[in-house]
Amino acid sequence: MTFQHRFLPTTSSDRAELLKACGVGSVEELLKGIPENVRFKGILPSGPAQSEMEIRRRVRTLMKDGRYAQNALSFIGAGIYDHMCPAAVNQLTLRGEFLTSYTPYQ
């Protein structure tokens, strides 16, 4: 099985099926409704590598209106709300190797 893009786990047959479901024969045909003059054809500047925490901090500074959960008064968590949990942890804890219905105190 070969993927056309290293970050998109769709095969050629997957893409063909998706395009058929949309009623088009190619990605270009799918995007033809978007005017050429507004399409971005360059490479987005990414800057130096950053950790997830640094990116979250940067996004918070960009949110000028300040409407996000970390700014709200909240009593949820009983004191454990001021910590950073990487997004990968949420996915890893759902894996079968870590998830079990057994609890030792029962």
Task: Using alpha carbons, select from 81, 84, 91 the residue that is nearest to residue 56.
Answer: 84
Q: Is residue 61 part of a domain?
A: yes
> Is position 86 within any domain?
yes
pLDDT for res 67: 64
pLDDT < 50: residue spans in the chain = none
Total domains in the chain come to 1
pLDDT of 105: 65
Whether 74 contacts 81, CB under 8 Å: yes
Identify the domain containing residue 66 by its residue range. 52-92
Q: Tell me what pLDDT residue 7 has.
A: 66
What's residue 20's pLDDT? 95
